[in-house]
Every structure is written in structure tokens, then in C-alpha cells.
Amino acid sequence: MINWEIVRDTLPAFWGGLQITIALLLISSASGLVLSVPLSVARASTRLWLRAPVFAFTYVFRGTPLLVQLFVIYYGLPQFDMVRDSSLWFLFREPWFCAWLAFTLNTTAYTTEIFAGAIRTTPSGELEAARAIGLTNWQVFRDVFWPGAWRRALPQYGNEIVQMMHATALASTVTIVEILRVARDVYTNYLVIPESFGMAAVFYLGLTLVLTTGFRALERHYLKHLDPASSMSAPKLQNKAAIHA
């Protein structure tokens, strides 16, 4: 049924693709995390001028397909002479840079909403206690808001990272040779399904398993203080939360 010769011949290519997929995931989720922490504070702010622009950003990026965002950046921006003549052109002509930018903006939009939701559910008593003992704004964020919000957001954040990993498959449409691109090339060369897409599925299943196990361990670490009944329930893979009404 499975032609092991093809598997043996294409395994190095898949191995390379796996590394590209992991690299895309790591750089995009790292920059997404760094950006969404301050943005989520602005998003959860009571001040409209802070909240509104961030909401506009997350609304647009959560309301349009990632594929279209990627195409606008990679195929679209070079339409403007301004971009092509700029000193940043060496970046914008690279599929790598464009994929990283699109993935970062996309995951930042979702993660910002996840963190903002977690910040909003901080019990008001905690904030009042922090103010009463005279903590500065920065201390309130670092010692009160963030530790609690991070714990509450962790299960959803884990889902978002898994979704992000799956989204890296779209990089195959802009000539980046990650796992899915390798599978499509193998299919074109040998016209076999199990050894091409089936093989890619095995890699993605493995990556998903590693990520969900990792996040479960993180949750066990960060949610240790909760009662055993609720901390033992495994996090459910959920659909990427779309725009909330």
C-alpha cells in the first residue's frame, strides 16, 4: 500500500520542511506575544482613545482571511513605487519576511483579544487592594493584572498557538518550502497520496501533540493552585475564536 522507497527518498525534504514550519511558528508566535501584551492592556483600558484603535486593528485582522492578508502584503505592496523604492524593499520582496509579518499581525489580533478578555475579568477587589497598599501603575500590571490574566488566558492562548502552527501551512502559497509545500511537491512528482499528504498529516499530528502536551504541562504549572477537580480537566482544543459580537 505504502511505497517505502518514496518515503525514504522524500524524508530529508520533509525533515527540512518540518524545520521551516517550526521556525515560522517560533518567530511569529514570539513577536505576536511581545506585541499583544501591551496591546491587550490598551484594548482593556477604560479610555476610548486607547481602546478604539486597538479594537479597529483586531477587528480588521480577525474579520478577513489570513490568506488574503498574506496576499495583500506579499503580492499587493509591491504595487506601490514607494514600497519598491524604499530602503525596506529588500525585506518586503522576501516571502519569509512577508509571511512572518502576516502571521504576526494575525496572531497578535487574536492574542490581544484573548489577553484583554483575561485582564477584564480581574476581580476588582484585587485592583483596589493593590491601590490601597500604594502600588504604582507598573507594579499593578506586573504583580496583579498580568499573573492572573496570564493564568486565565493560558488554555485559550494554547489553542491560538496550535491554530497558528496550522496557519503556517499557508506559507506554502508564497513559495516557502514548509511541510505542506514539500507534500505538494511530492504529490506532483509521484502522484501518490499517503506518501505525500499522508506523510504531512503525520508531521502535523506530531506537532499538534507536542504543543498540546506542552501547554498542558504549562497549565499544570501555572494553575496548580486551583482545586484538583478543575485543574485536572484537560484543555479542549477549541476553534479559533472569531470576532465576538
What whole-number distance in Å separates Cα of residue 40 and Cα of residue 34?
Answer: 11
# binding residues, other proteins (CB under 8 A): 47
Q: Identify residues 36-75 at the interface with other proteins (CB under 8 A).
A: 59-60, 63-69, 71-72, 75
Of 205, 237, 178, 214, nearest to 13 by C-alpha is: 178
DSSP 123: -
Q: CB-wise, 41 or 66, nearer to other proteins?
A: 66
Q: CB-wise, 65 or 123, nearer to other proteins?
A: 65
DSSP line for 80-95: SHHHHHSTTHHHHT-H
Helix (H) or strand (E) holding 14: helix 4-43
What whole-number distance in Å separates Cα of residue 220 and Cα of residue 231?
Answer: 7
What whole-number distance in Å separates Cα of residue 20 and Cα of residue 177?
Answer: 7
State yes or no: residue 18 binds other proteins (CB under 8 A).
no
Q: CB-wise, 60 or 232, nearer to other proteins?
A: 60
State yes or no: residue 121 binds other proteins (CB under 8 A).
no
Among 80, 121, 137, 143, which residue sits at the site for other proteins (rule: CB under 8 A)?
A: 80
Among 144, 180, 182, 186, which residue sits at the site for other proteins (rule: CB under 8 A)?
A: 180
**Tally: H helices and E strands in the chain:** 12, 0
Give residues in contact with other proteins (CB under 8 A). Answer: 59-60, 63-69, 71-72, 75-80, 166-170, 172-173, 180, 183-184, 187, 193, 197-198, 200-201, 204-205, 208-209, 236-245
